[in-house]
Amino acid sequence: MDPVLLLWYASNLAASDRIQYIPGEVLCPRCLGRDIVPSLPRGWRDALMRKLGKLPRHCRACSKRFYARPGPIEAPPRL
Ligand SMILES: [Zn+2]
């Protein structure tokens, strides 16, 4: 598939209203679960992300650990 077309498809997929993002709500980037709990910061990476305004979170459904800004999310976190 053409890379540009693929990019267009991906951006459309991200903008799909199948997934409703509620401002302030954090969704798991892997399973889109809402059972998200704060994770204890550990190591230099967490310290760095904290400086960037992102806090570590943990999904209790699939055990995925990721970073999210406190408050409204503009875009899913990049992995
Ligand atoms: Zn998950």
Surrounding residues of ion ligand 1, Cβ less than 5 A = 28, 30-31, 33, 59, 61-62, 64
> What's the CA-to-centroid distance between 51 and ligand 1, angstroms?
24
Q: Residue 70: its pLDDT value, please?
A: 75
Task: Establish how many alpha carbons lie within 13 A of residue 66's alpha carbon, considering only the half-sphere containing its beta carbon.
Answer: 22
> What's the CA-to-centroid distance between 25 and ligand 1, angstroms?
14
Q: Residue 25: its pLDDT value, please?
A: 77
Q: Which residues of 39-65 are buried (b: 16+ CB within 10 A; e: fewer)?
A: eeeeeeebeebeeeebbbbbbeeeebe
As averages over each run of 10 residues, the pLDDT of the chain (79 residues) reads 66 54 77 92 92 93 92 59
> What's the CA-to-centroid distance between 43 and ligand 1, angstroms?
22
